[in-house]
Amino acid sequence: MAGPNPSGVSAPLSYLLLTLGHLWMLPVSIIGILWALATGCKPVRVDGDLAVYFVARPGWPAYWWFRKFGFAGFTLGTAITFVEVKYLWNQRIIRHEKRHVTQCMYQGVFSLITYPAASLLAVIQGKHHYHDNLYEVDARAHEGE
């Protein structure tokens, strides 16, 4: 039997929780994968990673969307999409987007409501809808791990 992993959770329990997390967020992951494919993103294989990666193709809607709003990456469920392939080697941004995957594992389909609600809450408080969104603040806090 495998020993404890660095998280302190035994390996079998860790795998069980990971599997349950992926099942719980599966509807969101499917939406993320369909969004990426429908907006012209290319799937990219990353060995040893459970996330599903995509890279936007120039001239397609996702590329335009990323450029218009100034985002490097976008995560829905386990689908992580980047505007350019170079971000696949940016560990800070990878950690940020993977934190959104973890957030979604906890919240499942409710993340489709809680994330926009957090933006609305920030606006009501007179703050920025993106930078002060609680999920973005949390993701930024995990960039340096």
Per CB under 5 A, residues contacting Zn ion are 136, 139
Minimum CB–partner distance for residue 4 and Zn ion (Å): 30
Q: Which is nearer to Zn ion, 15 or 69 (CB)?
A: 69
Q: Which is nearer to Zn ion, 122 or 139 (CB)?
A: 139
Residue nearest Zn ion by beta-carbon distance: 139
Minimum CB–partner distance for residue 19 and Zn ion (Å): 25
Q: From residue 25, give the alpha-carbon distance in Å to each of 95, 96, 123, 126, 139.
A: 18, 18, 27, 31, 18
Minimum CB–partner distance for residue 140 and Zn ion (Å): 7
Neighbouring residues of 92: CB distance < 8 A, sequence distance ≥ 6: 143, 144
In this structure, are strands 79-82 and 73-76 parallel, antiparallel, or unpaired? antiparallel
CA 67 to CA 99: how far, in whole Å? 22
Q: Which is nearer to Zn ion, 9 or 72 (CB)?
A: 72
